[in-house]
Amino acid sequence: MNPPDKPLSSIVEAIGHTPMVRLSRIIPKSGASVALKLESMNPGGSTKDRIALALVNAAEREGRLRPGGTIVEATAGNTGIALAMVAAVRGYRAIFYVPDKMSADKIRLLGAYGAEVRVVKDVPRSDPLNYQHQARQLAEELPNAAYMGQFEHPANPDAHFATTGPEIWDQCGREMVAFVAGAGTGGTISGIGRYLKSKNPEIAVVGADPVGSIFTGSYQPFQIEGMGEDYYPQTLDTAVVDRWVAVSDADAFAMAKRLAREEGILAGGSTGAILVVALQVAEDFPAPSTVVALAPDTGRNYLSGFFGRNLLPDANLPIESDKAQSVGHDR
């Protein structure tokens, strides 16, 4: 990634063009390699910077968000952080509903950008007190407010089709045999996967999913933030995903710790889950094949969470691939 040759007009112009790093110590035995797309290098610290800008632009274009207005969204943290950053630049008020399993670090970050945070109980979407329903209701009641709708608006996957997908293809397309990402809204894996398959239909798109998410089984509470759901969002295109692999909270957090201590890459628990799956997928391919995995955000969002706990498996222990359960269809 080359630095800009002149000052940018605002921080949002720094979104995108994130680097990709080939892992050198956490490697599969097959001879294939795993490369991480480091979305933590976005200015807001996650891949959600891309969709936040797209959602705000869409709301302005559609006339739902006007000068002096209020951005309202339901978020597990990263989309809210990104929207708060864009709101600061554009002069909007920002209010976010977040589930109470969200890390304290993310809540502090939202406040640092000047956003208002309303922490609510983490309940299924079928419950009227679900954070999405409460955020949508506030946007309907509050004058000059707009609900961003990351779980419904096509600007979410379209942003990744237009930016992240082409970046990944330019960085590693000809060597890539598979792409691994998680899904919360599903916009990331859908948009990137759709683009990559338009360039090479043989690329396998694999979804990493927490044990307890309905993408790989029946719903039950899980701790990994930002991925997994209790319903299928409109922004998720399941036809793009060739198969899903379920990963436990403990394995995801242990792998995230390994990534920090062995590769110097501080990433969140969702990255840990994605990397568990990427290593498993890579065992099916010989050198010089490359499996590209998305690292959605920075581990700095979780210093008060799993990085601060000592109750998880030793981060130096290898992850046993039979603990990751694969479901879905292979193409």
d(C-alpha 118, C-alpha 114), whole Å: 13
User: For residues 223 and 309, is the Cβ–Cβ distance under 8 A?
Assistant: no
d(C-alpha 135, C-alpha 95), whole Å: 8
What are the respective helix, strand and coil percentages of the chain, to the nearest 5?
40, 20, 40
Q: Measure the CA dihedral 303/305/311/313, to 10°.
A: -70
In sequence order, what are the residues at sequence separation of 6 or more whose Cβ sits closer than 8 angstroms to the Cβ of residue 34? 22, 23, 26, 27, 28, 275, 278, 279, 282, 290, 291, 292, 293
d(C-alpha 185, C-alpha 236), whole Å: 6
Distance of CA 203 to the CA centre of its chain: 20
- Hey, what are 220's tokens? 């039950």
Catalytic residue among 37, 48, 197, 257: 48
Q: Is-catalytic flag, 106?
A: no
Catalytic residue numbers read 48
